[in-house]
Structure 1
């Protein structure tokens, strides 16, 4: 639905976007990235079995899935900026608890709640940016948001690793990394996040702009109102979430399957992650200029197609090439689902609608690694990888067939159909 000039949200300047959204996003995600690789190690340190340690790792994602719908409700009630502030405070409490926890049960519960709080923080940023950014610059703004998340996740493990190494302790004459150091690094980064968000005042809406009254609606109402969309495009969102998690599972497992050592696997994984964090800006510009399909379809075709080639690799160079192509496909899709969701979100219950879309994506992200694990469990790892690659191609097909029905900005043709120019400007 096209907004008139009188109902356009007040736009934040890029400098204010950096201060209020992008900087705290990168800082917060750096903290989360610092602790993520340490979660299984900390669990083992607390005398959890390897199976329980693996389950505790999964609790972070499970908590995010469980927290998506409550996050939409809280973001609507509190407001997006307050939700970020409260989310940072609760994150601080949980991180300190993890650093001091005496047993793995409390640790597991803290990680689960941390996932839920992360859902609130992520949704609040997305909803806030959607509110203050006009549709013609929405893709770029949300792609940068996705890029900041990925950059934080990329550098976070290095920050945590550095702190753990610097403060390594001696045990029985042997130096061992100080595992709680990663959590204390995240504590500092989360404090900085809170200060940055608190210091930047909330956007002031001019009196000439009509404020849309935010209402709280039931989840069942959102599902009924958008049933056709969730039954079609929603499936594509689930598949995208699943495919994007492949690099976290398929690459390391296949590298081990063909006999690559841990350091080589880390280098390959790092290459994919590096490229993954680099191309969000041109991708966002392209979505704004030509429409969402110009990025959504190529992203999933490249990512899904490259995944299909993983089982055909037999050495470090072939693995490196495939991982780089995967990083390319994932990188150009940064912010893609957030933008599509924002295009469709009703103004008066935007946060709750975005939360529902995130629930679909996060459910796919949680289920994707299970497909790989199932394939590995029955001795057919390549089959699980091929199945997930096929999911990527299927998501591209579904978006190609359905996105024009639900997003005015799917491409230039849909813009012309709704009385706009090809660039998305209203025709005077």
Structure 2
């Protein structure tokens, strides 16, 4: 369709419906994973380890997910991932022993990696370049809304069915996500097994791109993409890793500091929820700023704001101070909604997009694991205040890296969506 006529409404249900439901599925079980592990005989330390298995499952599946997405296409990768997630949820609900429950949690992480890669790759192909950041910011925002709503949806069922009810809510939501994903239009033909060639175009999204569908062009591999785009991964990829590290640490520092200053669980939950609400309210304006002014206008302020909030947190001594700082953190995280996906989409080549985005997600997931690990290590060696301060330093380093390596200016208009180039200065964009 012409760029000027594009509207998110045209792809809202197939693009964002599965994401909302998938977010609800994962949000429903997050508060009860540790409780279920404890019920199955895990110690407190082992229960905490089980929680990390979702992240581990995602981390180790990022690169293999590229094979699945390339082989079957984005649509069927979404369906397969959602069905795998529903299976994992049902397994967790019925697991009679700890090891089987832990395997189910790991499977949820695996499914999340495939689902996340496929939905990002799909929107990158389907949305014009001038609208890309708004689409991906909305994708991130819709996922956060689902995760936020998940615990509330599960709470009612848990009241009648016990803790297992949370997993049945997750299974039902994931199954609905798979059904809605069947409405996702095909953007390209899947790669036939054993051909070793790039897939041909099935729709206008890839038609006319050099290399796509050319039988003389060998299909990209993770190794070849890593070689041709190594500089991007070594530079801007470092900024992405730092964004993920600060974001993951932010989720831990609010409850930890609340406990440190003597707040009860109800007050802590309220403060955490209000921070999340601010986070969810501003994803679309953030995407519009990225599209109209450039990615740097959001990437750098996001990290600076979160660094400021983290630096101020050890100075708070009561619930009012912590609430204000938590709102700063929520605002900083909210304005960065979609920034990791948008920058990955900007630099991803076509053909070769799934492979590039798989490596990109691997960097982000590495940061997600490393951030809380640094917080834990510094806290154990020095103090919680020092651990939070170290996380603030990561935010400043991330801001510096993003300032240096995120291209200046707005995305170039008239460029085919998905070209392997970052945002560049160019002609004026059409009215948004």
Q: Deviations over 1:366-397 (max 9, x none)?
A: 11111121123224111111111111111111
Deviation at 1:155, TM superposition (A): 0.8
CA RMSD in angstroms comes to: 2.5
User: Which residue is 1:240 aligned to?
Assistant: 243
**Residue 383 of structure 1: SS of its match in structure 2?**
helix
Aligned: 1:357 with 2:360 = yes
**Is the CA contact (8 Å cut-off) linking 2:34 and 2:48 kept in structure 1?**
yes
Structure 2 counterpart of 1:117: 111
Q: How many positions carry a matched residue from both structures?
A: 404
Farther-moved stretch of structure 1 (242-251 vs 204-213): 204-213
| Contact kept? 1:33, 1:155, Cα under 8 Å | yes
Q: For residue 175 of structure 1, what is the aligned residue in structure 2?
A: none
Runs of 4+ with deviation above 6 angstroms: 8-12
TM-score with structure 1 setting the length: 0.89
Does 2:148 correspond to 1:145? no
Structure 2: any 5+ residue segments left out of the alignment? 188-201, 414-420
Contact kept, 8 Å, 1:237 with 1:337, in 2: the verdict is yes
Residues 25-68 of structure 1: CA distance to partner in whole angstroms, max 9, x if unpaired? 01111011001111100100111111111000011111111111
Determine which of 207, 210, 215 is the counterpart of 1:209: 207
| Alpha-carbon separation, structure 2, partners of 1:144 and 1:151 | 10
CA distance in 2, matches of 1:326, 1:409: 27
Give 2:418's aligned residue.
none
For residues 131-188 of structure 1, give each alpha carbon's deviation from its aligned partner in whole angstroms, at most 9, with x where no partner exists. Answer: 11111000000000010111111111111122112x15xxxxxxxxx01000001111
Offset, 1:210: 2.1
Other structure's SS at 1:102 match: coil
CA–CA separation in structure 2 for the residues paired with 1:197 and 1:51: 38
* Kept after mapping to 2: 8 A contact 1:307/1:326: yes
TM-score of the superposed pair, with normalisation by structure 2: 0.88
Alignment correspondent of 1:45: 39
Q: Residues 126 and 142 of structure 1 are in contact (CA less than 8 Å); yes or no, is this contact kept in structure 2? A: yes
Whether the 8 Å contact between 2:58 and 2:365 is mirrored in structure 1 is yes
Does the C-alpha gap of structure 1 residues 283 and 418 become closer, same or farther in structure 2, counting only changes over 3 Å? closer
In the other structure, the counterpart of 2:28 is 34
Whole-angstrom distance in 2 between the partners of 1:394 and 1:63: 28
Closer, same or farther: CA 141–215 of 1 in aligned 2, 3 Å = farther
Report Cα offsets for 1:52-94 as digits up to 9, x if no partner: 1100001111111111111122111110000000111111111
Identify the range of structure 1 (331-340 vs 221-230) with the bigger mean alpha-carbon deviation: 221-230
Judge conservation of contact 2:313–2:322 (CA < 8 Å) in 1.
yes
Q: How far 1:243 sits from its partner (Å)?
A: 0.5
How far apart, CA to CA, are the structure 2 residues paired with 1:297 and 1:82? 36
Aligned to 2:300: 297
Q: 1:179 aligns with which of 163, 179, 183?
A: 163
